[in-house]
Structures are given as structure tokens and as C-alpha cells.
Amino acid sequence: MSAPPETRNARASAKVDGDTLEVSLAGSWQITEPRPSWPELLGPQNPARVRLRTDEVGVWDTSLLLFLSAAQEWCRGTGAYCDVTALPEKIRTLLAQLTAAHETAVPFDRSENFLTTVGLATQDTLQKGREISHFVGECVLSTVRLVRSPRKFRWRDCLDEMQQCGAMALPIVSLVSLLVGVTLAYTGAIVLRQYGGDIYIADLIGLSMVREMGAVMTAVVLAGRTGAAFAATLANMKANEEIDALEVLGIPAVQFLVLPRLLALAVMMPLLALYANALGIFGGLAVAYGLLSIPGTAFWAEMLTIVDLSDIATGVIKALAFGLIVGLSGCLRGLQAERSAAGVGRAATSAVVTALLFIIVADAIFAVLFNALGI
Amino acid sequence: MTDTLTSNPAPAIEVAGLECGYGGKPVLKNISFTVGRGEIFFIIGGSGCGKSTLLRHMVGLHTPTAGTVKFLGQSFTLADTAARRGMLKTFGMLFQSGALWSSLTLRRNVGLPLEEYTTLSRREIDEIAGLKLGQVGLGGFEDYYPAEISGGMKKRAGLARALALDPAIVFFDEPSAGLDPVTSRKLDELIRQIRETFGTTIVVVSHELASIFDLADRVIMLDRAEQGIIAEGRPRDLLANSRDPRVSEFLRRGDKPL
């Protein structure tokens, strides 16, 4: 038994009558089902008139309109006359609405040529550079203002942030620096044992932890932990209009929100780096004792022959700079965030990326600088 | 506040030829109006017509591309940073979401403007903050954090903060947004009470018809296509006399004009 016509699939047939193409549609036209395509039905024909009929159409929805609209578009493009008088009133009205929607759509060309793209990218980079220098400048000026009137500084917020970015970060910093010390010791032992220089493992661990790894690893951990948190907090505040509320009251956001965070990181980073140095050296000492049978006292004595206060100061200075970089990146990205949930996420990601980039750049600059100064 | 009012006869707000936009794209052009002292003035219009944009440009959150805004006769747009900071004390603003600082209690939220602009002791600041919170019906909630109170209470707390420095002008950005009709009405009553008690000039951005007819002394209506003001006057006069179908349609809640 064949199904009634209206429940069968959408069908379209075309019959040529003089210079007119008679297009008859039939069956059930539903957007979730396959439907005939106008170009396939038309083939190579080029009629002067097209008459559209839907007498045998059963159930229909937008699917039918899309087909009819494609036929109309073709007629408009080729100059053929499109006869829709045989269509029911309802379909004609909807078709007119669809055509009107096409005509009133505001063209928005997102494609850009190479020069425009380069120009826009350059403008964007310059703008970002301006924003960073403006932000850093504002931080410096706010610091000067605060030094003059320290009563205005939000010490309570600063202490809270110190706890958050310092004390609360101890477990992760401990683990990372201990493992860095262990890894360095294992890697160093492979080479040093070949030349009978086992004892120099102490120099390797001591110097690399104190001058480099302690500060860098702590900065990397804090960039991911604290920098992202700063950015997310400030971006969220921006989305909730809290930053606007500060501005309307004439309270600079930098002074109120940024400086307590910057000071907290500037204080805690060097302390955490010193702590990381100790843990890393302890990790190396444990491996030296277990793997190379070097007694702790010998390790310590050897390490002190090469590590002096200037090395420790080097690490502390780096840690201070890295702390400021993490804080500035987090706060800058937070304040620049878009006012949306996605903006908060992007600000956090961007803060981490910016901080890591500038930490590496600053570390390279420090390396050159300390080498030139002979430190 | 009273001294300033008597010694300076200029209107509370004068906006002249203001042009607002974002990223070089104009949203509003040639906006000019004045708001008298002690007036409740509404900026009305359909969604996306630029009501909040106008407000944000007026209070200095965005820089207008042209035109001036004067508060109590003093130019705000042309003022230097120091003068502008001084003028910020003359107005308060209630944001759409309340915009309370989430890390501070309500007492500290209200007290912060006082900490910034006065040399009052902590005890005095706390006392004033308690008083302001009491005025908006939040007595007893001083030590609550914003996350611990409802949306309506947040708005009232935001209003208490806006009133902390006893400003001559208070701006409201969609005060009824997200509130139930009863809470919304209570907020309207509070706004009226503030004007009657302190003579404060009130500027409200809203499209809530009930509030507009209930509170507004005068309104301006903005239109998206026009990018400017299409009507100005008393809401009931506009409803009765306006020949502009956009105005009648809006004030009749979308019904086509007769």
C-alpha cells in the first residue's frame, strides 16, 4: 500500500511549457528531512518565466520556503519572471518576509586585505604598548601618592593578599622546588659521576637553585596561581560594575585594588623564593646522599665554597622583579577584561601568558646584566 | 549641600551638544537638556537606544566625543583631574547591579567614600554608614557581605553608598531591573523620599512605565534610529499630547497610538 501523498518525502518536478518552467512541489517538506535542490531541478535550463505551484504539498515548514526562495533568487539574478500567484497566501506572505529579510540585511564584510590586517595589527600592538606603559606609570604615580599619605593604603587587603599569595602557596611551592632540586641532582649526577666529580653536585644544585631556579620556579607557580586569580577577580569586579563604582566615587582602581596586590607579591615573592631555594637544595642534598653517598656536611661545605651572599641577592632581586611582573600582568589583564563570563576566562589565561613571557624576558635581561656587572 | 544650592543658582545638570559613542561609532548625537535642582528627571526609551550610554558619558565613565556636561554650573567634561575629583563628590550613582564591592561588608561599602573624602574617625564613619543603611531600610545588616543579601537589598545598599557623601545629584541606572513589582515600588518610594527629605536632584534611566508615571517630574525620550532625543516633557503631557507615534507607542506600553 502506498503512503498518502502528503506524508511522502519532499518532491519537485519541472515541466517546460513554451518559455515557462512549471515547477510543481509535492510531498512533506520538513527541515529535518532531505529536500530537492533548486539548482539540481533546474539543470542547464534557462527559462524566461518560472511558475511555482505547491498544490500537492502536505506538511511543510521553512524547508519549503528555502526552496521557493532559492527559485526566486535565481529568477532575480537572471532576470526571469517568477510567477508566485499560484502559491497560497500564507506561503506568499512568508516568502515576502524572507525576501525582505535578505534585502534589509546589513552587509558586514569581515574580510580584510593584507595591508589592512597588518595595519590593524600594528595599531593594536601600539595600543597595547600604550596601555601597558600607561598602567605601569599609573602604578608608579599611585605608589608615590601612597608614600606621601600611607593612611590611604589598604593595609588590611594587602595582608589578606599576602596570606593568599604567600602562606597559601607554600605547599605547591614546596613540592615544585623540592622536585626541581631532585631532578637537577639526578641530571647532574649522570655527568659528574663519569668524571669522578660527584662532590660538585653541591655546587651545581646550590648555584642553580639560588641564582636561577628558586626565583623562576616560584614565579611560574605564582603566575599560574596568583596572577590568574588577580585577573579573574578584577575581571569579575569589572563585569559587576564594581570598578565603575570606584571610578564614579573618584577612587582610583589602581590605588584601591592594584597596589595592595602588588605590594603583597613584592614582599612574598622573595620570601617564597628563599624558601624554594632551601627546599630545592634539600632535595638535591637528599639525592646526593642517596645516589652518590655524599654526606650532608660535605655537601654543605662544598656548596658554601661557591654560593655566597651576592648569589642569594641575585635570586632575591629576580624574585622581586618577577613578583611585580606577575602582579602587574594579573591586574592589567583583569582591568582590561571584557564585561562577560568569557572575558573573565580570557583575562585569567592572558594574565598567565603575559606573566610567563615577561618573566622569561626579564630573566634573560638579568642574565646579561649580572654578567656585565660581574655578579 | 544647602549652602551650595543657595549660593549657586545654576541648574543641577546642563548637557549641551553631547555626542556619545564607542570605538569611533556614534550612539547619540547632539544631546542637550537641563535638569533643575530637586527635580526627578527620567531618561527613557526602548532597549538599545543609548540611555545607559548617555548616563555613563555624563558621569565620566566614558569620554564624550563632543559637547559638555555641567554640574551645578561647573563644567565636568572640561575640568582637569583635580577639579573633576572634587566634582565627583557632588553626585552619587546607583548601578544596575548595585555594584557593591564584594570583599567588603555593607558598612565598609558605605563607609569607603567617607574614608576617601573625609578625615572622620573610623567610629564616626561606621556611625554614618549605619545611619545611611538605616535610611534605606537595611538597619541590622551592616556586617553582612553583598553575597549574603538579596538583589533588592543590594540595590538599597548601593543607594546608601551613593548617598554616603550627601550628594546634590544621584543617578540611577535602571533601578527596577531584576526586581519584583513590590520591591521595585518600595525603591521608587525611597527615591521620592530622598528627594523630599534632602532636596536631592534625581536622574533615573529606566523604561519601567510604572516608575516613569509615578515618579518623573520630567522625561527625555531617546530613540535608537534618531540617535537623539525625540521628546521632552512631563510624562502625562507626552502621553496626552505627543504626536510622535514612537512616543505614544512607548508610553502606552507598545499599543499602537489611536
CATH number of residue A83's parent domain: 3.30.750.24
Residues B92, A248: Cα–Cα separation, whole Å? 7
- Choice among A5-14, A219-228, B146-155 with the minimum mean pLDDT: A5-14
pLDDT bracket for residue B2 (50, 70, 90):
very low
Q: Are residues A71 and A197 in the same domain?
A: no
Answer whether residue A106 shows pLDDT above 60.
Answer: no
pLDDT tens for residues A162-210? 999 999 999 999 999 999 999 999 999 999 988 988 999 999 999 999 9
Choose the final residue of a domain: A89, A104, A119.
A104
Say whether pLDDT at A110 is over 80: no
In a domain, B171, yes or no: yes
Residue A244 has its nearest CB partner, among B61, B85, B91, at B61
Residue B118 domain-assigned (yes or no): yes
Do A76 and A195 belong together in one domain? no
Same-domain status, A230 and A90: no
Total number of domains in chain A = 2
A274 shares its domain with A174: yes
Q: Domain range holding B208?
A: 37-52+87-251
How far is it, in rounded angstroms, from Cα B230 to Cα B79? 29
The verdict on A208 and A336 lying in the same domain is yes
Same domain for A251 and A301: yes
Q: Domain containing A337: what range?
A: 133-373
Domain co-membership, A187 together with A285: yes
Would you say residue B198 lies in a domain? yes
In a domain, B129, yes or no: yes
The answer to whether position B106 is within a domain reads yes
Angle at B187 between CA B182 and CA B192, to 5 degrees: 125
| B218 within some domain | yes
CA dihedral A9→A15→A20→A25, nearest 10 degrees, is -10
Is the minimum CB–CB distance between A245 and chain B shorter than 8 Å? yes
User: Is B48 a member of any domain?
Assistant: yes
Residue A112 lies in a domain: no
Identify whether residues A67 and A173 lie together within a single domain.
no
Assess B116–A contact: CB distance below 8 Å, yes or no. yes
Q: Is B189 inside any structural domain?
A: yes
With H, G, I as helix, E, B as strand and everything else as coil, classify residue B127.
helix
Question: Domain check: are A215 and A257 in the same one?
Answer: yes
Name the domain count of chain B: 1
* All cell numbers assigned to A86: 499560484
Q: In terms of CA atoms, which chain B residue is nearest residue A152?
A: B116
Closest to B113 (Cβ–Cβ): which among A157, A240, A249?
A249
Q: Report CB contact under 8 Å: A249, B97.
A: no
Alpha helices in A195-252 (DSSP H): 201-208, 214-222, 228-239, 242-248
What CATH number corresponds to the domain at position B172? 3.40.50.300
pLDDT band at A2 (very low <50, low <70, confident <90, very high): very low
Contact: B102, A249; criterion CB under 8 Å: no
Average pLDDT over residues A76-100: 87
The 10s digit of each residue's pLDDT in B101-114 is 988 999 999 999 98
Residue A334 lies in a domain: yes
Distance from CA of A127 to the nearest CA of B (A): 13
- The shortest C-alpha distance from B103 to chain A (Å) reads 9
Kindly state whether residue A128 falls inside one of the protein's structural domains: no
What residues of chain B, 154 to 213, have a C-beta less than 8 Å from chain A? 158, 161
Q: For residue A85, which of A62, A63, A55 has the smallest C-alpha distance?
A: A55
Both A84 and A138 in one domain: the answer is no
* Amino acid in the structure at residue A284: G
A325, part of any domain: yes
Q: What SS3 state is found at B183?
A: helix
Same domain, A200 and A257: yes
